């Protein structure tokens, strides 16, 4: 099942993919009374747990099985819209914590010269204020628009409170999976390797992380694919293209720390909540690691695809 957030008349409403169409679970209420029991946001659905997901699944199945006039009534109310024409926001427009794993693909560390394999997971925050949905523009800040890079990342969404769990149980706390593009201004990466002393490298690393927090630098979507859609997150293929050219192509079996290990490690410190997101890090193929280097510029389109989730595509535009 694929959960989405639709932009409907200026409102964010939860939706579910039904074949080639998306069912607006708010607009559908007059025709599908069961939809009145569905929370009115994807985050609310996650907080309501498995019962809410099961209810949405049954509503979707009723629409898919329709052989009468139900679909036409839904279309007439704009409660059932073609997926290709729908205006989507990020599936979680208001995520809680976005914890982004870093330094987590073997091949990525090889392309980022001088980066050793860590002995424990590394992470950073992405600002929830930077979240945008599919089709929304990435807008590099005018002052640092020359080295804006892509990082397509397979990501997991928590559906239960999660604290101090074992790797063997970790995936039980995941409601589903989505895609995040960890857009990064690379202007300060070299400072990390050249800084000296004790606090010099620390401050350089922090400045590097600040280059990932600009508004629009966290595209997410297009959907949350529920856990049953991806039985093994360790065997997922992720691809990033720039203007149709493949830049990243990797499988999650190249991860240094797999998803259950990441959850076990970080849940020692965090109490994850429904609607929190954890990424698994960027594969190789980033623009900074190329020779010659390649960065995004206005007029470009970057797209990240995981077959089981969909394609997250965003244009790059100039700051006004």
pLDDT over 90 (residue 46): yes
Q: How confident is the model at residue 115 (pLDDT cuts 50, 70, 90)?
A: confident
pLDDT-derived band of residue 125, with 50, 70 and 90 as boundaries? very high
**pLDDT score recorded for residue 190:** 86
Which pLDDT belongs to residue 64? 97
Record the tokens describing residue 82, joined without a space.
């073609």
pLDDT at 193: 82
Q: Which helix (H) or strand (E) holds 131?
A: strand 131-132
pLDDT per position as a tens digit, 58-94: 999 999 999 889 999 999 999 999 999 999 999 999 9
Per-residue pLDDT reduced to its tens digit, 12-37: 999 999 999 999 999 999 999 999 99
Q: Is the pLDDT of residue 269 over 80?
A: yes
Averaged confidence pLDDT in the chain: 96
How much is the pLDDT for 76?
Answer: 96
In the chain, which segments carry CATH 2.30.30.230? 2-89
Structure tokens at 33: 């009374």
The pLDDT confidence band at residue 320, using thresholds 50, 70 and 90, is: confident
Fold of 2-89: SH3 type barrels. (2.30.30)
Average pLDDT on 181-206 reads: 92
Position 114 pLDDT exceeds 80: no
Q: What integer pLDDT is reported at residue 172 of this predicted model?
A: 98
| pLDDT for res 10 | 86
Greater model confidence, 193 or 239: 239
C-alpha distances in angstroms, 168 versus 121, 281, 300? 17, 21, 42
Half-sphere exposure of 265 (CA within 13 A, CB side): 15
Host H or E run for residue 199: helix 199-210
pLDDT of residue 313: 98
* 184-185 vs 21-24, strand pairing mode: unpaired
Q: What is the pLDDT of residue 126?
A: 98
CATH 3.90.850.10 domain residues, the chain: 98-315
- Cβ atoms 201, 115 nearer than 8 A: no
pLDDT for residue 222 = 98
Q: Does domain 98-315 correspond to CATH entry 2.40.30.10? A: no
Token duo for residue 99: 């914890």
Q: How confident is the model at residue 192 (pLDDT cuts 50, 70, 90)?
A: confident
Contacts (Cβ under 8 Å, ≥6 apart) of 224: 2, 3, 4, 42, 91, 92, 157, 175, 176, 177, 178, 309
């Amino acid at each position: 099942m694929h959960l989405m957030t639709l932009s409907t008349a200026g409102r964010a409403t939860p939706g579910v993919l039904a074949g080639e169409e998306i069912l607006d679970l708010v607009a559908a209420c007059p025709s599908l009374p069961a939809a009145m029991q569905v929370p009115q946001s994807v985050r609310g659905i996650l907080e309501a747990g498995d019962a809410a997901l099961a209810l949405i699944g049954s509503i979707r199945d009723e629409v898919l099985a329709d052989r009468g006039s139900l679909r036409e009534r839904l279309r007439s109310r704009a409660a059932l819209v073609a997926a290709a024409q729908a205006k989507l926001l990020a599936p979680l427009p208001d995520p809680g914590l976005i914890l982004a794993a870093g330094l987590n693909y073997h091949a990525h560390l090889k392309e980022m010269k001088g980066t050793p394999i860590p002995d424990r997971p590394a992470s950073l925050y992405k600002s929830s204020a930077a979240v945008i949905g599919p089709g929304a523009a990435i807008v590099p800040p005018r002052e640092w628009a020359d080295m804006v890079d892509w990082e397509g990342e397979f990501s997991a969404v928590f559906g239960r409170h999660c604290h101090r769990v074992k790797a063997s149980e970790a995936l039980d706390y995941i409601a589903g999976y989505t895609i995040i593009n960890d857009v990064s201004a690379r202007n300060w990466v070299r400072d990390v390797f050249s800084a000296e002393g004790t606090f010099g490298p620390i401050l350089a690393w922090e400045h590097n992380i600040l280059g990932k927090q600009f508004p629009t630098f966290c595209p997410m979507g297009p959907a949350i694919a529920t856990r049953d859609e991806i039985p093994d997150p360790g065997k997922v293929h992720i691809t990033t293209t720039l203007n149709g050219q493949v830049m990243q192509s990797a499988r999650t079996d190249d991860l240094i720390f797999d998803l259950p290990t990441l959850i076990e490690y970080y849940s020692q410190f965090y109490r994850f909540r429904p609607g929190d997101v954890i990424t698994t890090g960027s594969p190789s193929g980033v623009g900074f690691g190329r020779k010659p280097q390649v960065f995004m510029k206005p007029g470009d389109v970057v797209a990240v695809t995981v077959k089981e989730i969909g394609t997250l595509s965003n244009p790059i535009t100039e700051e006004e």
